[in-house]
Structure 1
Amino acid sequence: MPRYYELRDDLHHPGRWHLRSPVDEHGQKLNPWQFTESRRLEPQGHIRFPVRPDGVTLDFTQDAFANPVLHARVVQLFEHMGIQEVQFLPVQVDGHPGPYFILNALRILRCIDEARCAEVQYFTPEDGQPEKVGEYKYVRGMRIDPAKAEGARVFRAWGWDALIVSEDLKQALEHEGLTGPVFTEV
């Protein structure tokens, strides 16, 4: 059975930078959720990320909304591995030479194995958000059903903001010695 991992950035990396919300060339905030909808996006002009606090750059990091931002080294690895389930959107990170890119995962798969998760809570009518009733409110100790991953190498788990990668991609990222990625088996 294939193994999968949630990919996040290392929040405990000593002296690390922290990327804020993406903005356009005029400093106006962009909708950060558009990068989690797993749909191909048209070029949007100049996207940049303010950095506060500044610090050690990471090859893989996430902005304030958990959108993955990658150095070109990571993009080259994805391309070398022939991974086509993603879109790379060029961005600028204030005060740091790039190039950098937002990783836009183009697949969402309904694969969370609720019975194997440590805890799953759903939105109810009492939460006051009728459009979300029945959706995930909280998932702790997430586990997925590998059979429902359909052999994908990069995807988002439906209903929960998690970026999932296959074991071969995890191993390749680790082998490259990139800074920033942290993996949790799901």
Structure 2
Amino acid sequence: MLYCRLRFKRSYRDVAELFWLQGLHFTHETVRDWSERFPAELAEHIRIKRQRTFGRTWYVDETYVRIQGKWCYLYRGIDEYGNLLDVRLSEHRDMEAAKAVFEQVAELMPEPPERIVTDGHTSYPRAISEVLGESVEHRVFKSVHNPVEQSHRKLKQRYYPTMGFSNVETAGYFCEAVEELNQFLRVRRRFRPGWANSEA
């Protein structure tokens, strides 16, 4: 049930109906409950098993998500090969949030990258130098040229059918689980014999 919610563009009611057709009866509220209770455990389980070898160029960007009528900021990072670095939901777009993002990514990485590409928000240069070191080059590209900007839509396709979450914490866990599951499946498809390299 949780896989259906995280992987496909389906509402709570859609998922409950799909299982009802298979003879498993529960309400959409059960789907909602699972979607808020278990993504954190799933995301952490996949995250700790994820490979730690990444490219030398990181792309970091943020996008908006709406939670209980309030706009929040979803920070995401990928390398030049499209591999997920990490994802973090924040109520603010400021220095503290930017530093928290890089500190979270740094926990997974054996060494800092050669360069980081962002949209040029004023919080990034200082956050990069303080967390990752002054030797890391910071490049600025308009969002349209930043590959992480193009991949935001995949997450939003999963997020919007939920009609929002009860709080920022559960929304953050859901977003992390979606991204970790996508990366998990992406890596396995890439090495499956006869499977074309896809970013789906």
Q: Considering the TM-score relative to the shorter chain, is it more than 0.5? A: no
* Structure number having the greater helix percentage: 2
What is the TM-score when the length of structure 1 is the normalising length? 0.26
What is the TM-score when the length of structure 2 is the normalising length? 0.25
Which structure has the greater CA radius of gyration?
2
* Structure number having the greater strand percentage: 1
Greater relative contact order (CA < 8 Å, ≥ 6 in sequence) = 1
